Amino acid sequence: TQRTLVLLKPDAVRRHLIGEIIGRIERKAGWTISALELRTLDQDTLEQHYGEHKGKPFYEPLVAFMASGPVVAMVVEGERVIEGVRQLAGPTDPIAAAPGSIRGDYGTIVRENLIHASDSEESAIRELKIFFPGLS
């Protein structure tokens, strides 16, 4: 069984979409939310989390957006949950995301795409350490 880091980004919190998005995750049979917290991310955390994008043109606005309000950080556990939450989220660019996916239904612009989910087992381990260091 796998664990993944999910962040509901500041746009999801501002637009009162927390319940809607968490509902989609909970309705997936066999997945469990095992940690959950509303928190405002500091620069250091964001730099660690999005370090792979440092230097890209969208990096600075991305970090500013992610610090613009609280996010919901959570750990979701279950069978193939890493791939599964990415599937529920849809492609990065909401314009390319199909209706029925979170980004396809609610996304507006590429930066404000509502949700982050770890993209591989390696990323999940790295990101969970940043956000939930106390996890066994």
Give me the residues that bind ligand GTP (CB under 6 A), please.
58, 62, 92, 110-111, 113, 116-117, 119
Nearer to ligand GTP, 101 or 113 (CB): 113
17 closest CA partner among 81, 93, 72:
72
Interatomic CA distance for residues 103 and 95, integer angstroms: 8
Alpha-carbon gap, residue 135 to 132, rounded angstroms:
6
Please check if 103 is assigned to a binding site: yes
* Closest approach of ligand GTP to the CB of residue 111, in Å: 4
Does residue 53 carry a catalytic annotation?
Answer: no
Asked whether residue 27 is marked as a ligand-binding residue, the answer is no
Toward ligand GTP, which CB reaches closer, 58 or 121? 58
Displacement of CA 19 from its chain's centroid (Å): 14
Catalytic residue positions, numbered: 116
